[in-house]
Structure 1
Amino acid sequence: MLKFNVLTLRSRNQRDCSGTRIPVLGSAVYIFLLASILFILCAGPAEAGAPLEQIKGTVDKVLEILRDKSFKKPGMEELRRKKLRETIEARFNFEEIGRRALGLYWRKRTPDERKEFTALFSRIIEKAYIKKIEAYSDEKIVYTDENIDDGYATVRTKIITAVNTEIPIEYRLLSKEGRWEVYDVVIEGVSLVNNYRMQFSSILHSKPYAYLVKVMKAKVAKKD
């Protein structure tokens, strides 16, 4: 059975849809939130333009959820994760991420198929990394550069781990109705969108689109 890989930070032995260990690269959701949280806690040298200001608003909400003691009580885990998912979805443009990741195959999909694909894709990313967001610790972040150009923005950062390893991370955002929305994350030179595009193309090169949907549904339905 063909599979596609899910990205996690500097982990070379994660599991694919069937549970087999496979080499992977980095998590957009986890890294984005981790780096943004750290921006609040230890500001870098770059000035915070509109993209960072809006990201900060999202991360403030994430921090509020993570620090809320009422969510740490027994039986509150699902509600906490629901709140985190809603906060993530408000900042990430999963339709744009999905469109770019599916590439030429996106054009062949009906509106209903695109809606279904976007929903499955977002759930796969969120389901895989909510626990990592909840396990946020004390890594450091340095913001090195921010560029805004004709409705698009790039924010470049470095995460510095406890052993002083530097991980370069670039966030790509687009402006939509006065909001900045994340549509790609580049980790150590590797684009999340390009990585998924290669995986989806590999599957769709030899299998029908319905097969990819089947694999994605199985991933979403699988219990943690």
Structure 2
Amino acid sequence: MTLGLCLLTTLLATAPARAETPQQAVQALLNSIQQVKEMEALSPEEARANRAVMDRALTHLDVAEVSQKTLGKHWKRRSAEERQQFTQLLGELFRYVAFPNSAKFFRELTIEYQDNSKDGTAATVPVVVHHKDEGEIRIDFDLLENDRRWRVVDVILDGVSMRNNLRTQFYQILKKDDFAGLVQRMQDRLDTARGGGS
């Protein structure tokens, strides 16, 4: 009896945690983003803590999916190494550009979660925020479920898709330049956001 109870306790303890809901994934993302601080004038300890918050926020984004969709038809033409490089750079741009800018926007806002919709492994979580200057703003978070985890793959602000906006920018650059040129522009933007260093 004792052995059986012990085995049951062990099995329950090692069972995978229940997957969070799409809304919980969005809440976790926004909670992390709200804690991100501006890079300037941070002590080394504060910078490390800030990096940890940004890393946590990034786990709620499917950067690989966003990378593939934003590069669109150009994704298939890239080698595995180039895809990895692009995905890593895009993730770093989320950390050092998108998250600090979003933190400024979300930090003082009241966020109301609306009824979300789910269709298999896809879900949309709509939120309404109240901005003192811009009034009521609707934001839709599109998510996909993979390996029992919901991750954000697009953010639609007042009808404008983040993913489509990025794809438009990347396509415009690729019309004038090659893939290496796009990567260099992304790296330059990242270096500027980091203050000239890593």
**CA gap 1:214/1:103 in 2 versus in 1, 3 angstroms:** same
- Conserved? CA contact 1:81–1:130, under 8 Å: no
- Per the alignment, residue 125 of structure 2 pairs with 155
Shift of 1:133: 5.7
Who is 2:70 aligned against? 101
Q: 2:122, 2:145 within 8 Å by CA — same for their partners in 1?
A: yes
Matched ranges for 1:29-68 at <5 A: 50-57=21-28, 62=32, 66=35
Q: TM-score, normalised by structure 2?
A: 0.76
Unmatched tracts of structure 1, length 5 or more: 1-48, 68-72
Q: 5 Å matches for 1:6-85?
A: 50-57=21-28, 62=32, 66=35, 74-85=43-54
Structure number with larger C-alpha Rg = 2
Cα pair 1:84 1:130 within 8 Å, conserved: no
* Displacement after TM superposition at 1:125 (Å): 2.2
Tell me the TM-score normalised to structure 1 length: 0.68
**Structure 2: stretches of 5+ with no match in the other structure:** 1-19, 37-41
Aligned to 1:23: none
Q: Work out the CA distance in 1 between the residues paired with 2:158 and 2:22.
A: 21
User: For 2:114, what is the secondary structure of its paired residue?
Assistant: strand
Deviation at 1:164, TM superposition (A): 6.7
CA RMSD of aligned residues (A): 2.5
Secondary structure in 1 matching 2:111: strand
Code of the residue aligned with 1:203 in structure 2: it is: I
How many residue pairs are counted as aligned between the two chains?
A: 170
Which of residues 152, 158, 173 is equivalent to 1:203?
173
Q: Distance in 2 between matches of 1:92 and 1:138?
A: 22
- Equivalent residue for 1:189, pick from 159, 162, 181: 159
Relative to total residues, which structure has the larger helix share, 1 or 2? 2
Q: Secondary structure at the match of 2:44?
A: coil
